[in-house]
Structure 1
């Protein structure tokens, strides 16, 4: 049992770590979130190993992140203006990744979870509702509020987003 779990962790940790970072916006919190989710997954490994264990870990991460947020609602922090303008990386891909991460940090945890699941995981609204354990209407409301907020705080990201085909 431990051997198959270890293989799963080694093979899927990089992708799961990226998802955790998108949810938290902080590398240390992402590591804690992933470690906590993997610990919970290990307890149920016999039951889930033949199904889709990665989906189970992602679901645990989404719920854990929201639970953490409820317990310690962080104070909003302002990022200081960079003082050294010459050290800025001008790579379009890097700039886009940083802008997306900064924009996601300004959403509520529920909004962030919906955006990550819909646009990074490419799930339908019904699948997001199932993962988060809420109604379809709740997913639509959080998605709508998140997109509206992103249009205000990062209009250039919304303009760059590719058109999605309806499902």
Structure 2
């Protein structure tokens, strides 16, 4: 006879919930170990600023962590990237990007170039995610590529140099590590979950 037999039903539920939380944390940690750096690079390309990129990534991972049990059945990276892109696209006009390696591009052009050339997302998928016709995405990509080539930088060519990847980083202070960003995202999701639970508690 197992020890669970002697536990009241709410005790067994509590143990199962704790085990599920531990499993979720382990799965999320494994995911972020491989994906956080890449997502941070994508966020930096979009925002042109390392500090803004870290804030964008923190918000994205907080949502990903909160929805992990639903997302893990699909491709968590695609879902996290979609959330990051959605949050960037919804930024108010006064927070539009100004610096970075894609400094000469508009926010929409940055989205298309980053997804198509740096993330390798197919044209049709990019169009669907951005809510644009495929031919519109193609035209935006062509215009952005022409702009970048006029500066002798081709997004479809070799990856940018390490120095270019950090362009737009704040001049002072040490850039935040992805692991720290992940921890902040997890704390943020936990706080949001506790607030939601308090609202529905009798």
CA distance in 2, matches of 1:28, 1:53: 24
1:121 maps to 2:119: yes
Contact 1:111 1:142 in 2 (8 A): yes
Written as runs of structure 1 = structure 2, the 5 A alignment for 1:86-101 is 101=100
1:8 maps to 2:31: yes
3-state SS of 1:50 partner: coil
Please say which of residues 104-113 and 6-15 is displaced more in the overlay: 6-15
Task: Give the C-alpha shift of residue 45 in structure 1.
Answer: 1.1
Instruction: Report the structure number with the largest CA radius of gyration.
Output: 2
Q: Which residue pairs with 1:112 in the alignment? A: 110
Q: Which residue pairs with 1:98 in the alignment? A: none
Match of 1:66 among 64, 89, 92: 89
Count of residues paired in the alignment: 135
RMSD between superposed Cα atoms in Å: 2.4
**TM-score between both structures, scaled by the size of structure 2:** 0.59
3-state SS of 1:142 partner: helix
Please say which of residues 49-58 and 143-152 is displaced more in the overlay: 143-152
Which sections of structure 2, spanning at least 5 residues, go unmatched?
1-23, 159-202
Contact 2:60 2:83 in 1 (8 A): yes
Contact 2:112 2:126 in 1 (8 A): yes
Which sections of structure 1, spanning at least 5 residues, go unmatched?
78-100, 163-167
Contact 1:24 1:105 in 2 (8 A): no
Q: Which residue pairs with 1:39 in the alignment? A: 62
